Amino acid sequence: MSNNKPKIAIVMPCYNEEKMLPITFVKINELLSSLKTEGIISQDSFAMYVDDGSKDKTWELISDNHLIDESCRGIKLAANAGHQNAIMAGMMKVKGLVDCCITMDADLQDDLTAIPVMLAHYSEKCEIVYGVRRDRSTDSFFKHKTASLFYSIMKVLGVNLLPNHADFRLVGKNALESLSSFREYNLFLRGIFPSMGFKTAIVEYAQLPRLASETKYSLRKMLSLAVRGVTMFSPFPLRLSGLFSIIVFIAALIQATFVIIDYSKGITVPGWASLMVVVLFIGAALLFCNFVMGEYIAMIFSEVKARPRYIIEEEI
């Protein structure tokens, strides 16, 4: 730090955000200018936009804005690497250049007024400050219920997650340095940061409506992130599949016992319905176990190849 004013970077992943970025540029520039004027952050603080393989004019807009705003910087990924990897790319690019960074989405649904509060906690030696939504009233019924179910499942599995926290957070330079030592290909940052053990704080905020364009986080991507969170941080599903197999085996033994008893009593009329129930039940159990193990094997497959998480094509 210089004169106790931290140099910060606001890291924002962008995917097909040409409609939203003109608004984002103005709002972020106003925020940085205000924080600099008030002496809260260093004059050389900046915003880092990460173009995650966009197919529209996202990178062109970032490049053009850089020409008129020196606090605007950017990196362009050669292909769509995914939300988590795009955030990681931005954080690793600013690591060593800033005292702390703040990650948030470029759609500005994360409340910018929470950032000064985050910086206040950082000044009190908090290395990680989480932005946590006060409620999910702006979500659809389906998204609200599935999110609640996800956090409940993760709690049962013993994974340390903050409910209603996405990727709006402040990360200090020590945490950034530690983060660089995490080598897994399949990132789940919401699970990694709580496992670090640094001093943390929570800032609650109300999520704002999206000002332009539409969300790029489809149901498929949300499910993929949920599966990644489970398989990367808990072996419990593997053990559960084994336990489920034992339960099915015991159930089959009990059924076999009843069959033998009926046979000893001379009841030899074949029970087609009960036979089919047993076959389908065992088949379903085996398929469930194969599915769980398949997910873990898929994760192992992508990890052992040790390919880069992302490739930077261009930067400004």
CATH number of the structural domain spanning residue 17: 3.90.550.10
Q: Say what the pLDDT of residue 1 is.
A: 42
Residue 72 lies in a domain: yes
- pLDDT (tens, 9 = 90+) of the chain, 316 residues, equals 445 899 999 999 999 999 999 999 999 999 999 999 999 999 999 999 999 999 999 999 999 999 999 999 999 999 999 999 999 999 999 999 999 999 999 999 999 999 999 999 999 999 999 999 987 666 666 666 776 777 677 677 667 778 888 899 999 999 999 999 998 888 889 888 998 999 999 999 998 887 665 665 555 666 666 666 666 666 677 667 767 777 777 776 777 677 677 667 776 666 655 676 677 677 767 777 777 777 777 778 777 777 788 999 999 9
Query: Is this model's pTM higher than 0.85 or not?
Result: no
Residue 17 lies in a domain: yes
One domain, residues 51 and 182:
yes
One domain, residues 146 and 281:
no
One domain, residues 201 and 252:
no
Residue 54 lies in a domain: yes
One domain, residues 266 and 121:
no
One domain, residues 218 and 253:
no
Q: Say what the pLDDT of residue 271 is.
A: 67
Q: Residue 208: which domain range?
A: 8-234+310-315
Residue 200 lies in a domain: yes
Q: Say what the pLDDT of residue 226 is.
A: 63
Q: Tell me phi and psi for residue 95, to 5 degrees.
A: -60, 130
Q: Say what the pLDDT of residue 2 is.
A: 44
Amino acid at 210: R
Residue 134 lies in a domain: yes
How far apart (Å, rounded) are the C-alpha atoms in residues 106 and 59?
13
One domain, residues 135 and 227:
yes
One domain, residues 132 and 115:
yes
Residue 299 lies in a domain: yes
One domain, residues 44 and 185:
yes
Residue 128 lies in a domain: yes
Instruction: With beta carbons less than 8 A apart as the criterion, state whether 65 and 105 touch.
Output: no
One domain, residues 73 and 63:
yes
Q: Say what the pLDDT of residue 304 is.
A: 76
One domain, residues 242 and 188:
no
Q: Say what the pLDDT of residue 229 is.
A: 60
Q: Say what the pLDDT of residue 232 is.
A: 64
Structural domain total, the chain: 2
One domain, residues 86 and 180:
yes
One domain, residues 286 and 227:
no
The residues, any chain, with a CB within 8 Å of residue 297's CB and separated by 6 or more, are none
